[in-house]
Amino acid sequence: MGEHLEELRSVEDLDRALKESNVRTVLLFKHSLTCPISARAFRELQSYLEDADSRISYKLITVQTARDVSDEASSKLDVTHQSPQAILVRAGQPVWHASHSEITARALASAIRNIA
């Protein structure tokens, strides 16, 4: 993988990621281990990460093991929960998000290019 994907396991991890978004755009990826659509979207993310923009910080929220983190992200960012879901965050605010089949390597690259 071209870029490191850090798993957020606690609300404190999420808070650090949101704080980091003040100096570096952060991509949050919500993933379900049991959903085939999420598995496809995760493969798209992995494909994107092979040549990812290194100015972005990449974070993973696994819904089954970090539901509180997923819920808190939805609440703090005021973005309705979806799984799978990709959310670009800058200065603590969502600047782009997509879910389900909208998450492709091409869509991620385009959104990040337009925002970074």
pLDDT, tens only, 31-68: 999 999 999 999 999 999 999 999 999 999 999 999 99
User: CA-to-CA distance for 90 and 96, rounded, in angstroms?
Assistant: 9
Q: Taking residues 16-38, report their average pLDDT.
A: 97
> In this structure, which amino acid lies at residue 8?
L
pLDDT given at position 116: 73
Q: Answer for the pair 88, 77: CB distance below 8 angstroms, yes or no.
A: no
**Per-domain residue ranges of the chain:** 5-115
**What is the spatial distance between Cα 3 and Cα 9, in angstroms, rounded to a whole number?**
19
Q: How many CB atoms lie within 10 A of CB 25?
A: 19
Does the pLDDT at position 86 exceed 90?
yes
Q: How confident is the model at residue 3 (pLDDT cuts 50, 70, 90)?
A: low
Query: In this structure, which CATH number among 3.30.70.1890, 3.40.30.10, 3.40.50.720, 3.40.630.30 belongs to the domain 5-115?
Result: 3.40.30.10
